Structure 1
Amino acid sequence: MNVVSPLANWIPYRLEYIDQDWLVHWLYLGDKRMDDPFFDETIRYCRSKQRRVSRFESSSGAALLKANDMTALKPKAFVFHVSRCGSTLLSQAFAQSESCISISEAPLLDEILRSNEHDPSVSNAQREEWFKAALSWMGQLRTGRESSYIIKLDSWHIHFYGLLREWFPEVPFFFLTRRPAEVLASHKKMKGIHMVPGLVDPLLLKMKGWDGEAVKWDFNLFAAGVLMHYYTELRGILELGSRFNRFFDYSEGAKEMLESFSEFTGIELETKMYERLKFHSKSAGLTFDTEPKVEDVSTVACREAYKEFINAI
């Protein structure tokens, strides 16, 4: 007889440093698939359901992260991106298949990677243990139909490439880029947190000097600087060389992006994945319209960094 673990369908979703100790918060998924455009949406939905049952939160010490005895998939690919370059559409397309677990920007993974910002004593070995344990919880087999596991990271995790490649030496890393004018035009409409000075550690973004007084600076200039450093970092990764890395620019097309990722990772495409490309990446209910030409607010340095990277591919 198969015994279902009492922790089945539970996943860790937040890591918090309180009173010199680490606390893990837990989320009960029930039968909810993790197929939202962003993992924050899954968290909000499940927490709302939990509050109807109990006013208490489920939390534990970090040691419970290692207590997973359930069968879980290993990551099939990590998706890196410069933001607003098709990564959400890519993760959404593969999320359409019940055979694919597609995690999109889970806050917990970022909190683990950046845990030493709160506690400098956290070692790389500790972060690796937590990170892999978190992936195992989120990659648990819940229906028995799952066969592929994709993790889309936050854009600034490009700067964690060395660490992540050390932890996952043979896992495919798929890097998505886009022309700077189009990326920055999207952020001009609605900025991501990494494009707002002070919301993400400026040292992490390679933006030393943009600290507490940064809000007085030009937001477009800051965003162009962040993007420039992404391209510069990607050029360095490209020069390192790895057969487990692939680079794709969104200007080549959404369909081509899907097919390149499939060919690289070995994850088979389904008709429903192509169908998802017809709709807005962040809202499956909105039909996608071709984007109009945009004003280029990128700096010369940003455009040059992009051009150097693209010419090197």
Structure 2
Amino acid sequence: MEILHNWIPYKLEKQDGLWQLRWMDLGDRHIAEPFFDETIGICLSKMSERSKYRSISDTGFLLESSTKIEAVTPTAFIFHVSRCGSTLLSQALSTDQDNIVYAEAPLLDEILRAPLQDENLKEAETEKWFKAALKIMGQKRKHGYEQLFVKLDSWHIHFYPLLRKWFPDTPFYFLTREPDAVIVSHHKRRGIHAIPGLIEADLLKVKLREEHYSDFNFFTAEVLTAYYRELYSLVLENNPLNHFYDYSWGMENLLTHFFASIGKENAKENEMKKRLSFHSKYPDQPFNEETKTDLPEYPEVNSAYWHLINTLRVK
């Protein structure tokens, strides 16, 4: 569908009881920002300079248009516990002009969480929306696009059963890190899943308590505990398309392990490794380990983490 060339949906919302999508023009932009919402901001700014009108459609248009687009199928989905090297990995992948990389695209999260807002929304419909959106996002906008990598949000670990059901033949790559380092990072700059109430507690598998509001780090520790326990169950599942990597194993080995795990050659590994030397979220700044901060210890999350890591080492 030539009219949609370079256009993708970027937001799903419910208006007057009806689901609708907002669209934007990517132009000839190669997506290279650390997070896709940054790309959205840049593209919408350019669009507003051309017109004051917004491009909106219903979900039927999404489904119909997806059948008429040549697209790259997902090469791998990247899951993570946050602050564990996932952004650095997606940034390294985006340095290759043959790769389409989406890092935490809000639309995919909105589709996954839509049934939480609409009890009448069936799984079959959500699956159609997700796959149609991903197909349009993965359109071959540029000559040479061959691979599509999707870095999900951290809480999408809890959507694993659904995503594995929808994509039974796609490699899933899971990144982890010791909880103390993750908590310290969120203590300095919080993600939305590290603040009680911003993401549905049931989705995070955490029961909100009064203590969470007085100690955000305690809440973060409980969120991480649920992540590690979910990951432990996935290790036991022994799915050959599930692959795991912990930050402590060294960022210098990450790319080699990633491509070997998903069964792909990486002719540009040396170029990608240069990106690993810089800060994941600030590409112009050399990477430095974050300094430790004296924070309370949370034994339960440490226990869950080491239970997971020791099981991975045995395997």
TM (norm. structure 2) is: 0.95
CA contact (8 A) 2:184 2:292 kept: no
2:16 aligned with 1:19: yes
Map 1:127-138 onto structure 2 (within 5 A).
127-138=126-137
What does residue 147 of structure 1 align with?
A: 146
What does residue 77 of structure 2 align with?
A: 78
Helix, strand or coil for the counterpart of 1:114? helix
Q: CA deviation at 1:107?
A: 0.2
What does residue 30 of structure 2 align with?
A: 33
Query: What stretches of structure 2 of length at least 5 have no aligned partner?
Result: none
Q: CA deviation at 1:40?
A: 0.3
Alpha carbons of 1:87 and 1:244: their partners in 2 closer, same or farther (altered >3 Å)?
Answer: same
- AA of the residue aligned to 1:299: Y
CA contact (8 A) 1:27 1:58 kept: yes
Aligned counterpart for 2:41 among listed residues 44, 47, 65: 44
Helix, strand or coil for the counterpart of 1:203? helix
Can you list the C-alpha shifts for 1:201-245, whole angstroms capped at 9, x where unaligned?
0110011234xx677331111010001110011001111110000
Q: CA deviation at 1:157?
A: 0.1
CA contact (8 A) 1:225 1:302 kept: yes
Q: Which runs of 4+ in 1 moved over 2 A?
A: 213-217, 290-298
The number of equivalent residue pairs is 308
Helix, strand or coil for the counterpart of 2:102? strand
CA distance in 2: counterparts of 1:65 and 1:49, whole angstroms? 23
Map 1:162-311 onto structure 2 (within 5 A).
162-210=161-209, 216-265=213-262, 266-270=264-268, 271-295=270-294, 297-311=296-310
CA contact (8 A) 1:197 1:214 kept: no
What does residue 9 of structure 1 align with?
A: 6
Would you tell me which structure has more helix in proportion to its own residues?
2
Helix, strand or coil for the counterpart of 1:79? strand
CA distance in 1: counterparts of 2:278 and 2:91, whole angstroms? 10
CA distance in 2: counterparts of 1:192 and 1:173, whole angstroms? 23
Can you list the C-alpha shifts for 1:102-134, whole angstroms capped at 9, x where unaligned?
110000000000001111111111111000011
CA distance in 2: counterparts of 1:130 and 1:71, whole angstroms? 17
What does residue 114 of structure 2 align with?
A: 115
CA contact (8 A) 1:73 1:140 kept: yes
CA contact (8 A) 2:185 2:290 kept: no
TM (norm. structure 1) is: 0.95
2:65 aligned with 1:57: no
Can you list the C-alpha shifts for 1:37-64, whole angstroms capped at 9, x where unaligned?
0000000000000000111111010111
Alpha carbons of 1:229 and 1:5: their partners in 2 closer, same or farther (altered >3 Å)?
Answer: same
Helix, strand or coil for the counterpart of 1:281? coil
Q: CA deviation at 1:191?
A: 0.5
CA distance in 2: counterparts of 1:47 and 1:152, whole angstroms? 22
- AA of the residue aligned to 1:301: E
CA contact (8 A) 1:180 1:298 kept: no
CA contact (8 A) 1:100 1:148 kept: yes
Q: Which moved more, 1:292-301 or 1:272-281?
A: 292-301
Helix, strand or coil for the counterpart of 1:12? strand
Alpha carbons of 1:309 and 1:61: their partners in 2 closer, same or farther (altered >3 Å)?
Answer: same
CA contact (8 A) 1:179 1:306 kept: yes
* Identity percentage of aligned residues: 46
